[in-house]
A and B are shown apart, each in its own frame.
Chain A
Amino acid sequence: MQPSGKHAKIALVGNPNSGKSSLFNYLTGLNQKTGNFPGVTVEKRTGFSKMPEGHQAQFIDLPGVYSLYPRSLDEQIVSETLLNDKSPDYPDAVVVIVDATNLKRSLLLVTQIIDLGLPVVLALNMMDLVAKKQISYNLAEMTQQLGVPVVPMNARTGMGVDDLKNVLSKPVAPSGKSIFPVFDEAKAGVQELREALYINNDYKAYQFLQQPNTLSFLKQEDVDLIHRVKEKYQFFPGKFHGAETVQRYSFIQSLLDSVTTQPSAERKTSRSTLFDKVLTHRVWGYAIFLGILFLIFQAIFAWATVPMDFIDGLFASLSNYLSETLPDGPLTRMLAEGVVPGIGGIVIFIPQIAILFAFISILEESGYMARVVFLMDKIMRKFGLSGKSVVPLISGVACAIPAIMATRTIDNWKERIITILVTPLMSCAARLPVFTILIALIVPEKMVYGFFNLQGLALMGLYLLGVAAVLLSAVVIKMLINVKERSYLIMEMPMYRWPKWSNVGYTIYDKTKSFVFEAGKVILAIAIVLWVLASYGPGDYQENAEAYILQETENLELTEQDMEDRVAAFKLEHSYAGILGKSIEPVIRPLGYDWKIGIALVTSFAAREVFVGTMATIYSIGSEEDQTTIKSRMKAEINPETGGPRYTPAVGFSLLVFYTFAMQCMSTLAVVYRETKGWKWPMIQLVYMTVLAYISAFAVFQLLS
């Protein structure tokens, strides 16, 4: 097939753990972008690669699947992309990458895609491990029997990638072989459908007959037509599907018998088995898992604070510098008090997000994540979740948005809905700055037993509180949702291996970049809106603030500094933001908050991390003289009623608990809306989390004060 348009579109397809991402990263480098497949939130990675003749080819990384018959929504994308020749992602050629140490299972998918009549190149990955096992394949014979080019490679080192590019730079012809000719009983139906829908291939028409309801691109009239054809020719998908799989495997077995040479003795215990003895041990398995979690939290707290303090200080002094050097005016003030602290509030996240995604990516890459699913499945099922819920929940520690997208791998609807509903209770990276700053304010920086950082322990406690909330809510929701659907867990246990560090690097880069540009836009916009709300207000209070203060304090002898502070506070109080904060004060007073914190609660409804930015904006307005860090400004804040500090332990812990439970993230609600296709679940989620947050914060404040 000739590449259409200006560049060839090449899809990468393969089983999970086949090395598809490594190959994609190797081909495209940093020249890749992450988007979504139309209408769904499944992550779509595309990128360009320079081909030998100098032109570019576009690569699309499709989700990992074992067959064209999808079990989960994630897998459905692959069938839809490869079966819909009108799709903008329909490829000119397909590279099917397989784990060559595990050819039997991998070839099932290969034979299905060959039968679709698509031009296929078979990439045999992990050839180094094949050699280590002293297995060899007759590649010429394999090419002959499958009718497609076969390229041996090692996607981790890049060995064979140039050969693959060479093969792809010339037009690839479809195989021409038909490995599974459709059953005789289905032929008439397939023929009728091909003519009615202009389908150019038997197996494609057969797929339409097999699963019309999973292919969302089919128009309703086409689906009706397919159902009529099925009816007419007595086509029973279930029976045919099993028989097709058996037939494909018998082809694969005879192919493997004729191309494989391997040593006679079966390998004994592999390295993976030895690892599993320890890592899935009844004591060590859980101890190591907890230890890893503990390490992650300590690392985030200990390693990220240094760059974070640096960034915080940097933006404070930039802000200071701007207001000193630029001529005074609304624009300068907006820049120094709105935009710069706003950007600072985004950039400050980068160290934590990077560290979190580094850990998550290493756990995935090494094969350990599948063991976590294995260890946790039985426990999670008691709570109405699945072992597979552990991956979204752990990702939820970084950000609920990709985590909720990751629930697509859970094939049981009820387990998936519960996972979606409780995932935002996991403390995400956006809560970290809130936690960090409040903990730093109310928990002394001390070491206990010599090596536990007390602040780190407090942080870990909050995370555990989130986990407890996840489990308890899940149990309650499990009892409330009354659906009986069979759930299962049939999951590959990949071999342990060293993570490929460049893949880890790409993940960090990718996630951090999308955070800065996606979430960053919202945060910056809110920072500016907030600055406007905090700087302007109704009536003449803003312009004549000094006159009002003079009137109020006629009999007092005020220093210049005192006067300025009073004016600033007066202005804020009578700004739009102040009015907003005051109007909700009666509701939040039982939690120990004043109207200034109220402003932060309102603004951080859009995104939790805005809390810190709001604090920065609120407490910097007016006090241009000493632009110190946010923390010291919050520490200096006085509660006028008690004369003591505003942030007492009671207020601090009440806020910490509120932020642990509250659903304060518009992006998460938007993702839940998209994933559940309606407002019902996001609204339920918003209400239950807000009520939980309010009651808990109330209880904490009343108990501590």
Chain B
Amino acid sequence: MLATLPLPFYFLVGGFISIFLPKGTVKSSFVCLVPVIALLVLLNGGWEEGFKIQFLGLELNFMRVDKLSTVFGIIFCIAAFLGNLFAFHLRESTQPFVALIYSGAAIGAVFAGDLVTLFVYWELTAISSVFLIWARKTEGAYHSGMRYLIIQVLSGVVLLFGVALFYYETGSISFVKMELNSLATALIFIAFGIKCAFPFLHNWLQDSYPSATITGTVILSAFTTKLAVYALARGFPGTELLIYIGAAMTVFPIFYAEVENDLRKVLAYSLNNQLGFMVVGVGVGTELALNGTAAHAFSHILYKALLFMSVGAVLFRTGTSRASELGGLYRTMPLTATFCLIGAASISAFPLFSGFVSKSLIMSGAGKEHYQIIWLILVFASAGVLSHSGIKVPYFTFFHHDSGKRPEEAPMHMLLAMGLTSILCIYIGIFPNNLYAIMPFQVKYDPYTFEHILTQLQLLCFAILAFFILSKMKQLPSETRAINLDFDWTYRVFLPSITSKILLFLETVEQKGLSVLHKSLLLFLNKVYHVSGPEGVMTRILTSGTMVLFIAIVLLIVLGIILF
């Protein structure tokens, strides 16, 4: 019976139990154990019929287990375990609790068989995850968290409108493939797009992830955006618009990532860029490309978590993640540096690392469908990934100039989390067939052909050569304490300033209008007073004789009219 309960149940119950456990090893061990148990239960199966309940005349399915949802379910369990292991040192109740609820909600959304269940978990991911930002307990983090919450909840509200309209139009709430041809599906698409950080809807990502706690960012990086990728892959595979959106997503973050100073922000932009590859895969929509999306999401969660962990470990030890304040840490943090390099090699798609075997599925998918420009953009973006995540993050953190900092190596549990993640990155890279075996479709693909290895090495090595040459010529962007304006400027500066100007204008208009109204009213009252006041024509006192005469005249006139 217990084994057929919905998977989020383990996380939600585990989360509430964790509150009552003593802070420290017991609590930390418990929150690590929960995802492991959930993973074992998932692998054991038993939801062939789903987990359905009737609610307000609707059939809700909490466990639609098929190959696509299973891939995401597995990697979410693994990510939750690794994230919690990385956070083993925490001696508080909020973050471990929230981490379990958040990951459970994301897993619940992945297995949701209907749009209503999806909506509930969709919102729960938003509401729970914001506490990982607020746990930083600074004014800046509070405001970032509020912005994050507003945007995430907005995504849920848009989804709810879409679902309601969809039900009205079709009479169904099943979460299946949809066509982008009505307002309902457009709203659902936009809701997914907000969480997936589509261009112009993406800023919550770069705003919130660097604002979260060290461990919070690692947890955050795994779930929300990949849940959105899953939702797109489930709901809108083969939607051509996604190809162009995805291509744009791969390109623009590269330039930002290259000049951002906060390395966690660099990684957030890099995450945006990687999402672009997955979105392109969904847009292409062939079995090969969709496998690519699922495989890339799987390996991406691992190497991105690894990069966030290594920068997080540095932040933990040095108190900063600014490139301008780091450098030369390889002397005292060699293991963290090694793990960071493994993450960098994986994201850059070096052969024998996970990114190589997953990204190439998407590239081949786009190539086979003859999207030449898109394919060229993806190759360009591959060079871009190398530039910021492959080179910049490890180079400015652990090498480059000596910052003079000599921090201790990361704590044992962090090293363990990074080590296990590194092993997975390499394992997937060397034995890709084990990853391909759990993909949604049976597609034969061999990434290790001589020409593929050669071309990939050519691309990467010559990009690195360009880096060396430009570095020697001192042409690389310097690390300075600065930020770069992005689209969030519109709602953080432009719209508030426009709104305040409009309000000021309205206030002025109101004041002037009131004054004119006041004057007109006074004038009118004066006139009325003049006519009807004590001295007015209409209210002057007449003698009785005059009134009798007046009435007699009126009577004569009336008589005259009647008679003639």
A interacts with B: no
The chain B residues found within 8 Å of chain A, CB to CB, are none
